Structure 1
Amino acid sequence: MNTLSLHAAAAPLRVGIAGLGTVGAGTVRLLRANAELIAARAGRPVVVTAVSARDRHRARGIDVSSLAWHDDALTLATDPDVDVVVELIGGSEGAARTLVETALSRGRPVVTANKALIAIHGAGLASAAERAGVALAFEAAVAGGIPVIKALREGLAADRLVRIGGILNGTCNYILTAMRETGRGFASVLEEAQALGYAETDPSTDVDGIDTAHKLAILAALAFGRPVDFDSVHIEGIRRIGAADIAFATELGYRIKLLGIARRSDQGVETRVHPCLVPNTAPIAQVEGVFNAVVAEGEFVGRVMLEGRGAGAGPTATAVVGDLIDIARGSLVPAWGAISGSLSKLTSVPMSACRGSFYLRLDVRDRPGVIAEITAVLRDCGVSLKSMLQHGQAPSALPDESVPIVLVTHETREVAMQEATARIAGLDVVVASPVMIRIEAG
C-alpha cells in the first residue's frame, strides 16, 4: 500500500466551521485545494463536514451544499460528525465565547482566529482545555500567516525571552506608510484604506490600537510564561499623527510605526501600544504597507524577526489549517506553553514607570522668549533636551502667528515627560495640544 493509500485509509479529522466570512470561506477553499498535501502532513485527511453562518444563501465563492448546515453555531459543539470546532465568528463575548466554552466542556478541541476572545478570556479557556485534555489552538489570532505562536510556544521554548513585539496591525501600517509616501493627512489616507478594504467602516478597533493590544497581550503571555493580561496593556492609537509629524520624523532620520512592545525586567512586565519613531536603519522601519512584523529577543537566541501578511483569507486560513494539522497528528501543547498552574506570577509594570526618549511637536506663537519658557518647564521636570527643529518664522509679520517646533529629549522617565507635556500645554504661547511620540530603537 502506498503512502497516499495509507492516508486515505486513516479516519479523517472532521471539522465544523462557525463563521463563513473571509477567513472561514478561505479555510474551506484551502482544505479542498490542498487536500492531498494536508493529508500527507497530517497523517490523515482533514475534511469539513459542517458549517454555520448567519446567512445560508449568501454567495461566498465556495460550494457548501454537501455540508451539514447549522443555523445555530452552538450545535456544532454537539454534532456527532464533528471532531474539532473552528470558531471564526469573532468578538470576545456572545456566540463566539459560548461556542468555544461549550466545545471544550464537551471534550472537543477548538481552533480559533479570535484575538479578542483569547486576549480577554484566554486564561479561563486554557484551563478548560487542560481539564478536558484537548487542544485550544489560536495561531491565526496573531499576525495572520506569520507562525509566531508556534515560534514562541515551541521553537523558542528553551530560551528566556526578554522582549516581544512589533507591527501587529496592517491597517495602521498601511495608513502610516501612505502618509509618508504621499504627504497626505490621516483622514484622507484612512478614507482611501476603507475604499481599498484595508480598514473597516468603523476603524476604531484598528486605528485606536485595540487590535494591536489584543495581539500584544497574547504574545506577552506566551513570551514570558504568565497568564494573559489584556487589562494591563497601555493603549494609544494613531489618530493624532499628522502629516507634519511624518515629515519631521523623516527629517530626523526616523519613520513612525504603531508598535506593540512587551519587555520583561526585574520589576515585571511592561506591555504598551503606541506610535513610535524608529530609526530608518532599523529592520522594522522597512516593513511597509499592510505587512506585519514580530521581533522577539531572547537571552540565548538573540534577536529574531518574522515578517509577512498579517491578515487576509489566504494567510489567516493557512494558520487555521496549520492548527488543524497539529490536532490531526495528535499534538497536544498547552495553550500558553505550560500548564496553567505553572505559569509565572510576574507583575505588570505601569506605563508611568517606563523610561525612554521622546519627540514633542508644539505649535507656538512666533515671538521672543518662547523657547526659554518651554525649556524652563523641561528643566523643572528633569527632562534633558537633545535637539530642536524650527524652520524660519511665521508666514506673516503678525507677532502671534504660530510656527511648529520639534523637541527631541534624552532618555527620561515617562512620568516626568507626561508632567512636562501637560505643563507646556498650559503655556499661553502654545496654541494647540502638543503631540508626543516615544522613540524606540526598533
Structure 2
Amino acid sequence: MFESLNEKLERSFKLLKGQGKITEINVAETLKEVRRALLDADVNYKIAKSFTEVVKEKALGQDVLNAVKPGQMMVKIVHDELATLMGGTSVDVNLQGNPTVILMAGLQGSGKTTFSGKLAKFLKSKKGKNPLLVACDVYRPAAIDQLKVLGEQINVPVYSEVGNMNPVEIAKAAIKSAKANGQNLVIVDTAGRLAIDEEMMKEIAAVKAAINPNEILFVVDSMTGQDAVNTAKEFNDRLDFDGVILTKLDGDTRGGAALSIRSVVNKPIKFVGTGEKLEALDVFHPERMADRILGMGDIVSLVERAQEQFDADQARQLQKKLAKNQFSFNDFLSQIQQIKKMGNLKDLAAMIPGMGKALKDIDIDDDAFKHIEAIIHSMTPDERENPAILNGTRRKRIADGSGTNIQEVNRLIKQFDDTRKMMRMVSTGKGKNMRGLMGNMRRR
C-alpha cells in the first residue's frame, strides 16, 4: 500500500540528513521533492502546492531541540499535515433511524456491491445490527445474484423483486419489509455505470428523495487516482453524500485518491477496502494512514484485527493444552485459519514498523499457507492429535498425499515442535526471564 509514495518521500527527507539545522534553503530543496512525490502519486497540483507551503511555514517556525534532528522534525511535520489533509480524525457512520437506511452510490466496477456485503457484515458483528441488503441494481447482469451470494455468506437476507425495473419502488418496498420483519438496518445497493451520465444521476437522486436515507456513502476505486476524486466531486454536487469509501486500497501504490479526496469534496473517508475477503474492511484513521505512508507501520490496526479474530474461550482451552503439552496439529491449523482471516499477509506484515520496506520486493502470496494446510489435512485424525507417532513411514505417506516431499513434511514438523516449545514456555511462565530481557532491550 502506497509503496511508491513512501519511497519518494523517504528520498526527499534524506536531503536533510547531516544538516545541523533547518534553513529556508534546505527546507525548500526538501519540499520540492515532497511536492514532486505528491504529484507523482496523482495528488491534485493545487493540493500538493498548498500542502508544501503549510509544511514550509511550520518547519521554518520550529525551534529544533538539540535532541531532534532536522530530518526527524520534518518527518513529524509532514506526518501531522498528511493526517490533517486526510481529515484528521476518523468519522463514524450514522446509525440513527429505525431502520437506519444507508444508500450506496458509485460507478460500476468500483466494488459497490461487494462493499455493501462487507458493511452489512461489519455492522452486524460490530454494532449488533440486524441488516437487510436491497438489490436496486436492476441493469447489470448478475448484480442481484452477486448480492444474494454475499448475503448467504454472511447470513443476511437480500430483498429483490423479479421483473421490477423501478429502483425507487424496490427501495421503498424493502424499507417497509424491514420494518415488518424487525430489521433495523437497510443497505441499498444502487446501479452504477461505466461513466457518469444524466440518467444514472436522476435515478439515484430519485431513490434518495423517496427513501430519505440516514447516510449516503460514495464508493470509489482508489487505484483510479485523480479520476476517483473528479468522480467523487460530480456525485457530491448532485447527491451531497455523507462519506467516501475507498476500495482496493491494498493495491494502490500511489495514494492520490486518499490524499486528495477530502480536500476536494470536504467529506470524510469513512471506510477502506483492503482485499476481496468480506472481512477486508477497515475504519479509516487518518493518523494511522499517515504512519503507513511514511513507513512507520500501523501496530494499532494490526492488534485490532487480531482481536477481531480472538476467541476468549478457545484461548483458555489452548492455554490449558499448552500447559499439559497437548498442543496438536489441529490447534496449529486453527491458529493458521485465524491469521488468514485477518487479511492480506503482506499488508499485515507491513503494519509492523520497518517491515514494509524490508518486504518491498518480496511477494507474499495469500496462499502462503496452502502447503502447510495440505500436509496437515493429509494426516489422520490420530496423527494430528498425537504428533509423536509421526515416524518415517507415516511422513512418506503424508508427503505423497499432500503433493509435497519428505523434506517439506520434516520441516513443518520441526517448525511445529519449535512453536509448541516456545508457546509452552510463555504460557507456563518459564519464559519469564526471556520476556524480562526483551523488556530491558526495549527500554534501552
Q: By the TM > 0.5 criterion, same fold?
A: no
The alignment's TM-score, normalised by the length of structure 2, stands at 0.32
Q: Whose helix fraction is larger, Structure 1's or Structure 2's? A: 2
Q: Whose strand fraction is larger, Structure 1's or Structure 2's? A: 1
The alignment's TM-score, normalised by the length of structure 1, stands at 0.32
Q: Which protein has the larger Cα radius of gyration, Structure 1 or Structure 2?
A: 2
